[in-house]
Amino acid sequence: MNKTSIGIEPELGSYLASVNSSPSEVQRQLIDRTAELGRRAGMQIAPEQGEFLATLVDLLSPTFAVEVGTFTGYSALSIAGALPPDGSLLCCDVSEEWTAIAKEHWELAGLSGAIDLRIAPASETLADLPADTVIDFAFVDADKAGYVEYYEQILSRLAPKGLICVDNTIWSGSVIDESDTSVDTEAIRAFNRHVADDPRTRQVIVPIGDGLTLIRHA
């Protein structure tokens, strides 16, 4: 069964999948290919989350979108597939192995021309963008310790009506488990509090996938 959103029982997940828009053939192929990675496949976003991202992108029609953390490329397929004709997506990742799978499926979907993949630490890629670069849409799903830095880098370039989406902000419910003091859990808690205390923005956590925070200018 495909990965589904937190708190959704398998039976309900199957029902929702039957009435939601279905993944494309290439997306299905990518789900199957990623499953071959074993437990690492859990890093792939749920299909309904991909459709949600595509809906947001379709509504916003961003000219320039950024993704921090690409893995095997499912979220990039969702985002790039919904871009307007003049839109482009910058993908930031450090793994050539996993993004090789992504590139193969972007090519199959005819989206390679809309995606610019940079293999380097995302903080460096973002810092190296031209000073006048405006980001219309961003999706962050990378190392949790870097979330605050990525947020600050993107927010400084975010268009007035831009949107930042940050994944894993419920973190399988561990954010409220006081006994969990692991590095990633503490990083997610720190990020959530950082955004909640930021007067520059407004935000809402949507319980889809593993928690998706939508952030916009106040």
Q: What per-residue confidence (pLDDT) applies to 5?
A: 80
pTM value > 0.75: yes
Q: Rounded to an integer, what distance in angstroms lies between the CA atom of residue 46 and that of residue 205? A: 16
pLDDT tens per residue, range 11-24: 998 899 899 999 99
**For the chain, what percent of residues have pLDDT higher than 90?**
93
Confidence of residue 3 (pLDDT cuts 50, 70, 90): low
Structure-token match 């279905």, residue found = 22
Whole-number Å distance between alpha carbons of 88 and 62: 8
Q: What are the φ and ψ backbone dihedral angles of 71, each rounded to 5 degrees?
A: 55, -125
The answer on pLDDT for 1 being more than 50 is no
Say what percent of the chain tops pLDDT 70: 98
Q: Of 3.40.50.300, 3.40.50.150, 3.30.70.20, 3.40.47.10, which CATH number belongs to 10-217?
A: 3.40.50.150
Reply yes or no on whether the pLDDT at 162 is more than 60. Answer: yes
* 29 pLDDT above the threshold of 90: yes
Rounded distance, CA 86 to CA 11, Å? 40
The answer to whether the CB of 117 falls within 8 A of the CB of 88 is no
What pLDDT was estimated at residue 2? 54
Q: Which among 161, 167, 111, 165 has a CA at the least distance from the CA of 136? A: 161
C-alpha dist (Å) from residue 139 to 6, 14, 75, 135, 154: 19, 26, 9, 11, 10
**Cβ neighbourhood burial of 79 (10 Å; 0-12, 13-18, 19+):** buried
Report yes or no: 204 and 164 within 8 Å, Cβ to Cβ: no
SS3 164: strand
- Residue-wise pLDDT tens digits, 130-151: 999 999 999 999 999 999 999 9
Summarised one tens digit per residue, pLDDT across range 41-84 is 999 999 999 999 999 999 999 999 999 999 999 999 999 999 99
CA distance from start to end of the chain = 39
* Measured distance CA(62)–CA(124) in Å, rounded: 23
